[in-house]
Amino acid sequence: MNINYESDVDTSGYLDFDPVPEIEKTVNACVDYLNCEYEVQVNVLITDNDTIHEMNRENRGIDCPTDVLSFPMIDWETPGKCDFSEEDEIFLCDPDSGELILGDIVISIDKVLEQASEYGHSRKRELLFLIAHSMLHLFGFDHEDDEEREEMERMQREILDSIGVTR
């Protein structure tokens, strides 16, 4: 697994833990939960409200900051079903590492702080919840209707429970 972590803000004043191993643990839990047999590659950027606001406006036409943006690299036929043909693997996997290139996750540290306070749980739990949520998007899941939303909420809860991250 290859997680390319970057932060364009200093998170040390906001997080009382090293986010990198926690993000790795959560990404691994998502991959395991979905029974994906591939090693994966994910890019994670931690930024601020101003930057994510601009990205949200440019990419989604929504003129406000958001908590997380997901940029999947795979157009999933069936969400989370990692049974690609050898021909598909050529286009979906990194030629050097063989890792499945899932995509990019962008998280606003400002929203992590705000939502952790709003929902009454830790900053760590909020950050990892957003990672799990975004990972499900990278695997093709969405929440366009109530049924999809409930399924994603259940999966997120089960993933976080599997690594001992609870409210």
In the predicted model, what is the mean pLDDT of residues 136-164?
A: 96
pLDDT at 65: 97
Lowest mean pLDDT among 22-31, 60-69, 86-95, 97-106: 86-95
Q: CA-CA distance, 158 to 92, in Å (whole number)?
A: 27
Confidence at 130, pLDDT banded by 50, 70, 90: very high
Domain covering 2-162, topology: Collagenase (Catalytic Domain) (3.40.390)
pLDDT tens-digit map of 10-63: 888 889 899 999 999 999 999 999 999 999 999 999 999 999 999 999 999 999
Contact 88, 102 (CB under 8 A): no
Residue 167 has pLDDT above 80, yes or no: no
pLDDT at 166: 84
| Phi, psi (rounded to 5 degrees) for 43 | -105, 130
pTM for the full predicted model: 0.96
